[in-house]
Amino acid sequence: MVRWLLLFLGIWVSYPSFAEECRVALVQAELAWGDVTKNLEAFDARIDQCRDCDVILFPELFTVGCEMKRKDTGRIVPFQTKAEVATRFAEVLHRMQAWAARSGALVIGSTVYQEEGRFYNRLLAVYPNGDYRYYDKHNCFKKGGYSPGERQLVLEWKGQRIATYICYDLRFAEWSRNEGQYDVAVYIANWPDSRRTDWNRLLAERATENQAYVIGVNCAGTDPYGIRYAGDSQLVAPDGRVTAQCQPYEEEIMKVVLKSK
**Higher pLDDT among residues 15 and 171, named by residue:** 171
Q: Bin 238: left if φ > 0, else alpha if -120 < ψ < 50, else beta.
A: alpha
- Does the residue 244 lie in any domain? yes
Strands (E), 71-136: 106-115, 118-126, 132-136
Catalytic residue numbers?
A: 60, 137, 167
Domain with 37, as residue range(s), is: 20-259
Q: What is the mean pLDDT of residues 123-132?
A: 98
Q: Tell me how many domains the chain contains.
A: 1
Q: What is the mean pLDDT of residues 43-65?
A: 97
* Confidence at 67, pLDDT banded by 50, 70, 90: confident
Nearest to 57, CA basis, from 130, 127, 107, 103: 107
What DSSP character marks residue 226?
S
* Confidence at 131, pLDDT banded by 50, 70, 90: very high
- Mean pLDDT in the chain? 90
Which CATH number belongs to the domain containing residue 83 in this structure?
3.60.110.10
* Confidence at 171, pLDDT banded by 50, 70, 90: very high
- Does the residue 168 lie in any domain? yes
Tally: H helices and E strands in the chain:
5, 14
- Does the residue 59 lie in any domain? yes
- Does the residue 82 lie in any domain? yes
Q: Are 225 and 194 in contact (CB under 8 A)?
A: no
- Does the residue 3 lie in any domain? no
Q: Could you tell me the end-to-end alpha-carbon distance of the chain, in angstroms, rounded to an integer?
A: 30
- Does the residue 11 lie in any domain? no
- Does the residue 171 lie in any domain? yes
What does the pLDDT read at residue 141? 86
pTM for this one? 0.90
- Does the residue 60 lie in any domain? yes
Say how far apart CA 259 and CA 243 lie, in whole Å.
14
Residue type, 12: W
Nearest to 176, CA basis, from 149, 138, 144, 148: 138
